[in-house]
Structure formats: structure tokens, C-alpha cells
Copies of this chain bind each other. A is one copy, B any other.
Amino acid sequence: MPVNLSAPDAAALLAIPGVELGAAYAGIRKAPRADLMLMRLCQGARTAGVFTRNSFAAAPVQVCREVLAAGGPVRALVVNAGNANCGTGKAGLEAARRSCDAVARLLGCDAREVLPFSTGVILEPLPVELIESTLPACVSSLAAGNWGTAAEAIMTTDTVAKACSRSLEIAGRRISVTGMAKGVGMLAPNMATMLTFIATDACVGPGALQTMVREVADVSFNRVTVDGDTSTNDSFILVATGQAGNAEIAGSAAEYEMLRSAIAQVAVHLAQSIARDGEGATKFITVEVCGARDEAEAVRVARGIAQSPLVKTAFFASDPNLGRLLMAIGNAGIDGLDIARVNLWLGDVRVIDAGGRAASYSEEEGARVMKSAEITVRVDLGRGAAQTTVWTCDFSYDYVKINAEYRT
């Protein structure tokens, strides 16, 4: 059960002029639920992306990188759930390209204008013929209002679809932003989450769009972790269709900040949704670290806490076994950390005062906070002005169950 998260109201998701979506069941995943999604983009749309840093980047990630590096237009995205097409060698690359070919034939564009995405089991051959035979059904269902259906079609072990919208006004023009994401396990994105697609009808310059996708990833998907395992298929794609009629936004403009802020809001909501729906999650944990020398140091401590199995099982048990937080901070490898300057709060309760247990701390107060479904851990390292926030979930029996039984 996701923590304080329900499926999005499909009617509240804003259509993005220039983007149409379709979905169908290809039979790649066993559960008979749509597992193939097609997104068609209008002429003139611009696309930027960031991808996993895992060395075993999946075949579709390799194809996406080639397409985006070539700098040509992108007219469609094709996404399958149930098979990651990773560790599949040359046959996997060929399968990814064949799915692009099939899309190109149906939409009348070039195969080098199609981005492929896959998510699911690694090391299994992708049954591309199922994609080829099901794509016509996706094409016939293409519609601008399909964000809800599309978000469902990219799910794997997700229990609810993840999508949301924001709108803003730039120079008198109404701009819409809608995004969707999937991913609840093998999740510690490094430059992107498993699969996220955000589109806006704003007109954005190509350089500015690429900068924006990185900046947004850094404050959203790169700050969420479920199990510390970075996926082979992480992809975050940002599309700007240019249909809103605004003047092209450059990286230095005030409008850039406005649009980036709206897109970051969508991305942060999706990133938090991922942790709320983390495999087996019963709690949503926010880890705030301040007083660091630089942001990298703050991130190291925050991730150290958010990824420690011992910290996460204590949250699951609602057990204020808070020494484990100390252990995790101490393991972050911060050179010359003066533990006498470290302070820590659990929700509104002071736990660590100058490196030791706070005199005011009581087990009852700690237990009270640990019972909440949403918990904030705040650490002050007392050595600088940099800070960060990372979101995660607890570690339950169900995490083991879900991952022990994933393929069976």
C-alpha cells in the first residue's frame, strides 16, 4: 500500500498540445494489463533526456543516447513494460531498433526519430514481434487526453500510476506541464529515475531544454532512493512541444526559471510518489541534511541514512533505535567529521545534541514520531552551509517478499 498516495485523477491531468498518447496490451508482461505505450509528438517538438549511469545501460538507453546525440527531431516514444531489454547484447539492440522501425512505418516518420524505452526483467530476450503486432492498437488509441492510461501502461511493480500536472503563465501565454513516472524498486536514480516522461507545450531552446532536464533531475529523481540499486534502464525525458505560442525560452531568461520551477514541481511530486509507492513501503521518510561543507557531502550523508537496511527496518518496526542513524552518518565517509558538532532531530524531537543523546530525549517521544506514516529526519553536520533533501521509504517484509517472488 503506497503511503498517502492514490492514483491520479485522470480528468485532472492537463493535455499537452502537441502530445498524443496510446496504450495497449502486447502480452510482454503476464498480468493482462496494458504494457505498451506510444507517445506521438508534433512537428517542431524538442526533446532532451538524461539516462542511467549504470555501465550495463539497457539496449533502448543506448539507442536513445544515439538518437538524442544526433540532434535530429523526435516524433515518437515507444515504451514497453515487463522486459528491460538489458544484458541482451546485439540481439537486444536490434530488437530496440525494430520497435523504432515499426513505429516509424505506422506514423510515417524516420526510425531515427523514435526513442525506445523498456522496463521489467533484465537478461531476457525482448519479444519484439509482440510490440510490432500491438503497435497498430496503440496508434488507433492515440489521444491527447490519455496521460492517465499511458501512466498505467508503463507500470511494473508499481501499485498506482504516477502522474501530475502544473500550469503557469509566461508573457500572457498559458503553459501546461504534465508528467508521468514509473519505478518502485531497483531504485536509486543517478541522473534520472527508471522511466519518467514530462511534457510541456512551452517553446524552449534546445540548449536550455538539455540544461533544464539535468537541473530538474538533480533536485527530484536524483534525490529519491528505495533500495540503493540504480537501474540499468533509468530514463528521464523532457519534451517541449512549442505549441503554447510563447517566445522561445533561452537558458538565461527569467521565463526559464519560471518554467523550470513548474517542471521541478511536477518532477518532485513524481519522485516523492516513487518513494511513497516504494516496494513494500509502509512509511514515507524525508531526510534533510544541513551544515555540510558542500552539497555532495550533504547528499552522501542523506543517502547513507536513506539506504541503510538497519535504519529502514527500524522505521518499519516504528522502533526508535536511533543509534542506527548515528551509525549511518558515521559511515558516510565524511573526512574529519567532528561528531561533537552533529545534531539530529526526528520530526520535532531532538535526538542527538552535540554528538550524544540529547538530555531532553525520551524513548516515548521517539516512539511517538516513529509511529507516523510520514517522518522527517533532520541532521545538522555543523561544518558548513550546504544542505540537501532525500526521500525514501522503510524496508519491510514485503520488500523481501516482492523481490523474492518477482518473477514467480
Chain A positions within 8 Å of B, measured between CB atoms, are: 53-57, 84, 86-92, 121-125, 185-186, 227-232, 308-310, 313-314, 316-317, 319, 321-324, 326-334, 337, 339, 352, 354-357, 395-397, 399-401, 403-408
Min CB–CB distance A81 → chain B (angstroms): 15
A331 CA / B187 CA spacing, docked (Å): 12
Min CB–CB distance A19 → chain B (angstroms): 31
Write the chain B residue with the least CB distance to A395. B400
Write the chain B residue with the least CB distance to A332. B55
Contact pick for A89, options B125, B337, B354, CB 8 Å: B354
Min CB–CB distance A101 → chain B (angstroms): 21
A324 CA / B395 CA spacing, docked (Å): 19
Interface centre among A337, A339, A357 (most CB of B within 10 A): A357
Contact pick for A185, options B88, B310, B337, CB 8 Å: B310
Write the chain B residue with the least CB distance to A86. B323
**Contact assessment for B54 and A403 in the assembled complex, using a CB-CB cutoff below 8 Å:** no
Contact pick for A357, options B87, B230, B323, CB 8 Å: B87
**Contact assessment for A319 and B406 in the assembled complex, using a CB-CB cutoff below 8 Å:** yes
**Contact assessment for B317 and A408 in the assembled complex, using a CB-CB cutoff below 8 Å:** yes
Min CB–CB distance A358 → chain B (angstroms): 10
A331-B54, A404-B313 are known contacts. Are A122 and B229 too (CB-CB below 8 A)? Answer: no
**Contact assessment for A90 and B404 in the assembled complex, using a CB-CB cutoff below 8 Å:** no
Min CB–CB distance A144 → chain B (angstroms): 36
Contact pick for A124, options B55, B316, B323, B404, CB 8 Å: B323
Interface centre among A185, A309, A334 (most CB of B within 10 A): A309
**Contact assessment for A229 and B357 in the assembled complex, using a CB-CB cutoff below 8 Å:** no
- Residues from chain B with a CB closer than 8 A to the CB of A186 are 310, 324, 327
**Contact assessment for B399 and A400 in the assembled complex, using a CB-CB cutoff below 8 Å:** yes
A355-B87, A400-B399 are known contacts. Are A122 and B406 too (CB-CB below 8 A)? Answer: no
A404 CA / B319 CA spacing, docked (Å): 7
A95 CA / B92 CA spacing, docked (Å): 62
A395 CA / B309 CA spacing, docked (Å): 10
21 contacts between A and B (CB under 8 A): A55-B329, A56-B326, A56-B327, A56-B339, A86-B326, A86-B327, A87-B355, A88-B356, A88-B357, A122-B324, A123-B323, A123-B357, A229-B327, A229-B328, A229-B331, A232-B323, A309-B309, A313-B399, A313-B404, A319-B407, A321-B407
A331 CA / B232 CA spacing, docked (Å): 8
**Contact assessment for A123 and B326 in the assembled complex, using a CB-CB cutoff below 8 Å:** yes
**Contact assessment for A408 and B356 in the assembled complex, using a CB-CB cutoff below 8 Å:** no
